[in-house]
Amino acid sequence: SCSGVSRSQGKGRLFQSRGAVTKKRTITLKGKVAERKERKEESQAPPPVIMFSGSGLNSSKGLRRQKRDWVIPPINVAENSRGPFPQMLVSIRSDQDKDISIRYSITGVGADQPPNEVFNIDPVLGKMFVTKPLDREHRSSYHLRAHAVDMNGNQVENPIDLYIFVIDMNDNRPEFKNQVYNGSVDEGSKPGTYVMHVSAFDGDDNTTANGMVRYRILSQMPHTPIPNMFTINSETGDIVTVAPGLDREKVSQYTIIVQATDMEGNLNFGLSNTATAIITVTDINDNPPMLTSRTFSGEVPENRVDLVVANLTVIDADQPHSPNWNTIYRIISGDPSGHFTIRTDPVTNDGMVTVVKPVDFEMNRAFMLTVVVSNQAHLASGIQSSLESTAGVTISVQDVNEPPYFPTNPKHIRFEEGVPAGTSLTTFSASDPDRLQMQQTIRYSKLNDPADWLSINRTNGQIVTTAMLDRESIYVKNNIYEATFLATDNGSPAASGTGTLQIYLIDINDNPPALIPRESQICERVNKNVHGVNITAADADTDPNAGPFVFELPNFPTSIRRNWTISRISGDYARLGLRYQIYLEPGVYEVPVIVSDSGNPPLSNRSVIKVKVCPCDEHGDCTTLGAVAAAGLGTGAIISILICIIILLSMVLLFVVWIKRREKERHTKQLLIDPEDDVRDNILKYDEEGGGEEDQDYDLSQLQQPDSLEHIISKPPGVRRVDERPIIPESQYPIRPVVPHPGDIGDFIHEGLRAADNDPTAPPYDSLLVFDYEGSGSTAGSVSSLNSSSTGDQDYDYLNDWGPRFKKLADMYGGGDDD
């Protein structure tokens, strides 16, 4: 074994050669010069040599079992080394390198795994190097494995583990979590009161002085009352008070600069950083509210509410709009009836004395109130209330003209209905509350009298009826009639009050009963299941002037009692029916019934009920035929009605057929002669609403008769068209106005036809019936060019039957031998 190397149980066969043991160093606070000197000595020391186990895998003695291995101590490398690089760390050797060629390699994070090539090894000499500066804050240790193989790649030695630790250097300043910290402390706090906590983090090793942070306060602003009101725990960062005298009303906020230094706070070697701590002094209720005056005054008109009559002001040095500042006002005396309350203005903190219950000048002319003020929050311990927290408030009441009032409102009286006009009911008088300083006169008037039954005396308020009171009137609700009256004084300005009079009308028997129902039906023969009609009565009066009712049949006419009978069912109902063995023809019968109420004296009414007697089915219901028969129509009348209905429908149908046929004939009517005798080749029948040969872009104004014929008459002879109207004396047709719309052309043509038919003096010119110019383009010429080709005699007497338009033709061709 080698000296300085400890043994341990394990499977690997590792050991360290002599002189390769790395001494353990303890870093103490020293000057930078001493630290650099030590680093220089370490860098000049020869690197340790790490040897593989003497029993290799290829030993001539064969494989042997190794019970114990050497433990290789870690390799320490300082971070942020300045080089030069590559810097040799250790040398790895195998005791077999004397017999065979050995190649050395290392594996692990930092060698062949990311980050790669931080460490490398000379494969022949076995020297391991670090290639760049290391950062402990990035990675604090590396675990590598060293391998030894022959030239064929066969493993010669078991791999050995190499542990490389990065030695920390003080290269990180303390960093505060926040640049600004906010804390608070109550004013008046005792020394030692906890305020807040600040903390800083150092990236260096906190087990060494490099990462040990200490705190201190650099400054405090302001310095009132002393410059050092706070202190900080150097290790924990807790800030506490060290002196009394915190007063928010003097200083409401402190700003403290806190410094954090590593190297256990050594200012010569440690790195430092600063942060700001803002300490707010919170308010406590150490200032009681004080009223600005010992007395206040105000005025209030009588009978007014929700009116501010006085304003109380206070002074409070505590934080505004906080429970320590908000003031509560209380009236402790002078207002036993609760006429006033004091509300706090949330903005100004003033007290607004408000009247909440009307005051009466005639009862209280002034109020002397005692007011006490306090805060929403209780006073702090040891703070006493001020004598200025109490004041007196004088409220004067102003007299105003109050309206008269009715002492009893509404006023109830009872009277029987039917009271005649001119009856005095009661005196409805009002009182004037202004009895101390004003003597006024009251006048009365009627404000609302729905039925116009009452009048009131203008001076004394006496109520007199002007019409008879009727309980059954629509203006009476639940037997009560209600009227409203007005009382007005002569003050300035005048004031008025209203009063309601309610008259309870007692019912009297002034309405006779009326029979219900007024119509019904009954079977012509008595049915054992249904017999008779249930009847009752309605009475506008109430008990005891209404039911029970008495139903009777009159003695005259005698047929009533002979055919009908009434039987009592209850106090309000009776049954009207036919007598047994009585048969009546179907029809409607008017049965008089006398109904009497129970009033004193009773009132009677003779009512008539119309009863339809009809044949019934087995259920007692009138059949359809029976209902018709009961309406007073016999079988013959019913058949006659049906025949009349059929005839009427037939006539309507025939009329519709005739109209349709007439319309069809009008469309198919021949012009003058049969089609086979018509020689006018250019006359076509289209049966459509279109034009002729030229029906595109035609001018409808050509179809309108001109208002003047000057342009035709002025033409010289021989130049006129053959189809124009001849210049001869003729009947003057009325000149028609210009047709505004082509839809009226049909009316225009029919009007011309009608004028020509009624003019027997019209000459038989071909162009006589041309209704204005209709355009050119027809392939046929004038009909004047047509000559008759008939050589035989022809009878033209039938022209006399064609109307006045053909009278000339009949005279010319039908004249017989005169031609």
Cis preceding-peptide flag for 734 (omega within 30 of 0): no
What's the pLDDT score for residue 542?
83
**Beta strand extents in 284-386 (DSSP E only):** 290-291, 295-301, 307-312, 314-315, 327-333, 340-344, 351-355, 366-375
The amino acid present at 72, given as its one-letter code, is: I
Cα dihedral sign, 612-617-621-625:
negative
What's the pLDDT score for residue 261?
95
In this structure, are residues 302 and 358 in contact, taking their beta carbons and an 8 Å threshold? yes
DSSP 690-738: --SS--SS--GGGGSPPS--HHHHTSPTT-S-TTSPPSS----PPPPPP
b/e for 521-539, b at 16 or more Cβ within 10 A? Answer: bbbbebbeeeebbebbbeb
Long-range contacts of 709-715 (CB under 8 A, 24+ apart): none
Distance CA 5, CA 68 (A): 13
Taking CA atoms, 318 is separated from 138, 190, 193, 315, 383, in Å, by: 54, 20, 22, 9, 13
What's the pLDDT score for residue 323?
93
Tokens of 118: 């931080």
| Residues lower than pLDDT 50 in the chain | 1-38, 40-43, 55, 58-70, 529, 671-673, 679-681, 694, 712, 718-726, 728, 730-731, 733, 739-740, 765-768, 785-786, 788-790, 817-819
What's the pLDDT score for residue 629?
53
| Alpha carbon of residue 285 to chain centroid | 46
Cα 231-233-235 angle, rounded to 5 deg? 155
What's the pLDDT score for residue 807?
78
pLDDT digits 0-9 by tens, 342-373: 999 999 999 999 999 999 887 888 999 999 99
Characterize the bridge pairing of strands 87-93 and 49-51.
parallel
What's the pLDDT score for residue 33?
38
Q: Nearest to residue 669, comparing CAs of 687, 695, 648?
A: 687
In this structure, are residues 71 and 14 in contact, taking their beta carbons and an 8 Å threshold? yes
- Dihedral (C-alpha) 769, 771, 776, 779: value to the nearest 10 degrees? -30
Read off φ and ψ for residue 163, nearest 5 degrees: -115, 120
Cα 454-460-464 angle, rounded to 5 deg? 20
What's the pLDDT score for residue 122?
92
Characterize the bridge pairing of strands 155-167 and 75-78.
parallel
